[in-house]
């Protein structure tokens, strides 16, 4: 079953890649301490804003164009035009970033960090990870990611040894991203040959007209997920920013897991929507049912053990990250639970999803500006949660109205029951050993699910069954 094979390989590869990535984050955070960690992440986020134009919906454009037509000719054409357009935009953006480091006071202080981080936009310009999502060859990207993360960890250990090694830390990450991109391009050259690098004003206009709604989504998503760090960089100390970004790094692990699942189901959602509304309804409801289970399990565990997790991973110096982690864990729950929504709405109405993202982003900016002066980093965390609630709520209402009949009230009971059983078990046995109690809690969580008749094998069989017949009903 293709779905099961992809899921199994991706799961193993992603666990390895994320384990290496987590160890790299832990090493870096402990070496450069909260102040350095805050400055480094501020530089990465700020540089990322100048790279926004490089990611103007080109990934989604590539998936939407290649997934239905996987011929070599079409792949070469789409890869060629996206890489060429993005390189042009990358050069323009880097020049603007360089100029900005002379005019913005906060940027002048970290000019070298910004330029090193900004160089990453060129690796993003030629990155074709979206192609392997479109053709469902997830093993290629996963293997390349492992190589990249191992390289990142190795170079970190070699050249980042004191709190002052911030430029070296930025270089390590940028270099690892270039390695990832080069691995993917090498595979592409081997499989397909040289992409067709053709450009014309007419073609450029057609591409930008197509991706404009996707570009709005891309820009909105970038701002939505990072505006808190950018605003904090101008309003709080680097130590406080370090605490907040330390918490966000852990949330990002969960969101990356959600994005991984999204890469897996995105091509299927496109096909389901195009084939039959009844087919899509049944599959979407099934996927969301299991995402409720995963989201509640991870989120509630993270909230309950936030203090222990921060102390184990980062050490006592990062105690200020505990409450931001507890608060933003709610974002992770909403992200995983609502995984079906963005991919479906993008497929059926790109302009609508762009409007949703834009509204959530504006709310997030307003909330951050209002709450950070009053509550500091906890205010930023609360703003993040409130904006996520709006994004989830609007998406749910639109999905229920347009396509699906997912009943959240019925779906929520079992995962909530299992999560409560897990927390009670951990509390009962925590005095013996934290690790033992967590293990027992997870066993209880799974046992409650099985008692309620829910197994993940059911999901794999449903989505991986080759001969599933499309219901012969009108859409």
What is d(CA 419, CA 26) in angstroms, rounded to the nearest whole number? 28
Average pLDDT for the chain: 83
Question: What are the extents of the domains in the chain?
Answer: 1-199, 213-470
Higher per-residue confidence, 320 vs 457: 320
**C-beta of residue 261 within 8 angstroms of C-beta of residue 402:** no
- Max Cα–Cα distance, the chain, nearest Å: 69
Q: How far is CA 231 from the centre of its chain?
A: 20
* pLDDT for 285 beyond 80: no
Among 425, 367, 359, 439, residue whose Cα is nearest residue 397: 359
What tens digit of pLDDT does each residue of 19-70 get? Answer: 888 899 999 999 999 999 999 999 999 999 998 888 777 887 888 888 888 8
Choice among 51-55, 375-379, 400-404, 470-474 with the minimum mean pLDDT: 470-474
**C-beta of residue 175 within 8 angstroms of C-beta of residue 122:** no
Q: Which helix (H) or strand (E) holds 1?
A: none
The residues near 273 (Cβ < 8 Å, ≥ 6 apart) are 280, 344, 347, 348, 403
DSSP letter assigned to residue 429 = H
Long-range contacts of 13-18 (CB under 8 A, 24+ apart): 13/139, 13/142, 13/143, 13/145, 13/146, 14/142, 14/145, 14/257, 14/260, 16/146, 17/142, 17/145, 17/146, 17/149, 18/253, 18/256, 18/257
pLDDT for residue 221: 78
Report the SS3 class of residue 468.
coil
* pLDDT for 131 beyond 90: no
What is d(CA 169, CA 173) in angstroms, rounded to the nearest whole number? 7
User: Given the structure tokens 């729950």, which residue do they identify?
Assistant: 333
pLDDT for residue 471: 36
Quote the tokens at residue 31. 């070496």
Q: Which of 316-320, 351-355, 356-360, 422-426 has the highest mean pLDDT?
A: 316-320
pLDDT band of residue 468 (cuts 50, 70, 90) is very low
């Amino acid at each position: 079953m293709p779905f099961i094979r992809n899921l199994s390989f991706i799961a193993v590869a992603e666990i390895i890649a994320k384990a290496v990535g987590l160890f790299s984050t832990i090493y870096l955070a402990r070496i450069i301490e909260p102040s350095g960690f805050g400055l480094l992440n501020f530089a990465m986020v700020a540089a990322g804003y100048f790279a926004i134009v490089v990611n103007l919906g080109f990934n989604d454009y590539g998936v939407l164009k290649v997934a239905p037509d996987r011929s070599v000719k079409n792949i070469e054409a789409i890869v060629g035009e996206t890489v060429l357009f993005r390189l042009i935009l990358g050069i323009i953006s880097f020049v603007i970033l360089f100029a900005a480091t002379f005019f913005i006071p906060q940027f002048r202080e970290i000019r070298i960090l910004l330029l090193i981080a900004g160089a990453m936009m060129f690796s993003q310009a030629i990155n074709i990870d979206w192609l392997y999502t479109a053709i469902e060859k997830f093993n290629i990207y996963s293997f390349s990611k492992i190589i990249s993360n191992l390289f990142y960890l190795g170079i970190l250990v070699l050249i980042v040894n004191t709190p002052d090694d911030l430029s070296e830390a930025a270089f390590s990450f940028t270099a690892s991203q270039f390695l990832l991109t080069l691995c993917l391009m090498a595979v592409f050259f081997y499989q397909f040959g040289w992409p067709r690098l053709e450009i014309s004003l007419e073609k450029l206009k057609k591409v930008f007209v197509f991706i404009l709604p996707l570009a709005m989504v891309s820009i909105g998503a970038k701002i939505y997920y990072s505006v808190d760090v950018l605003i904090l960089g101008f309003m709080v100390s680097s130590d406080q920013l370090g605490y907040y970004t330390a918490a966000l790094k852990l949330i990002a692990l969960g969101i990356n897991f959600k994005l991984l699942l999204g890469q897996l189901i995105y091509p299927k959602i496109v096909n389901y929507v195009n084939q039959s509304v009844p087919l899509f309804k049944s599959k979407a409801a099934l996927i969301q049912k299991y995402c409720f289970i995963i989201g509640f399990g991870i989120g509630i565990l993270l909230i309950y053990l936030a203090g222990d997790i921060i102390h184990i991973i980062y050490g006592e110096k990062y105690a200020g990250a505990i409450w931001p982690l507890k608060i933003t864990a709610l974002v992770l729950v909403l992200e995983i639970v609502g995984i079906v929504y963005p991919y479906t709405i993008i497929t059926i109405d790109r302009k609508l999803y762009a409007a949703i993202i834009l509204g959530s982003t504006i709310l997030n900016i307003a909330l951050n500006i209002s709450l950070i002066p009053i509550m500091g980093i906890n205010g930023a965390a609360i703003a993040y949660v409130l904006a996520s609630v709006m994004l989830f709520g609007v998406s749910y209402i639109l999905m229920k109205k347009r396509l699906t009949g997912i009943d959240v009230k019925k779906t929520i009971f079992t995962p909530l029951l299992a999560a409560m059983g897990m927390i009670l078990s951990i509390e009962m046995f925590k005095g013996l050993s934290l690790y033992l109690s967590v293990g027992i809690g997870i066993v209880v969580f799974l046992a409650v699910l099985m008692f309620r008749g829910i197994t993940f094998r059911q999901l794999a069989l449903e989505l991986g069954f080759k001969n599933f017949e499309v219901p012969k009903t009108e859409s």
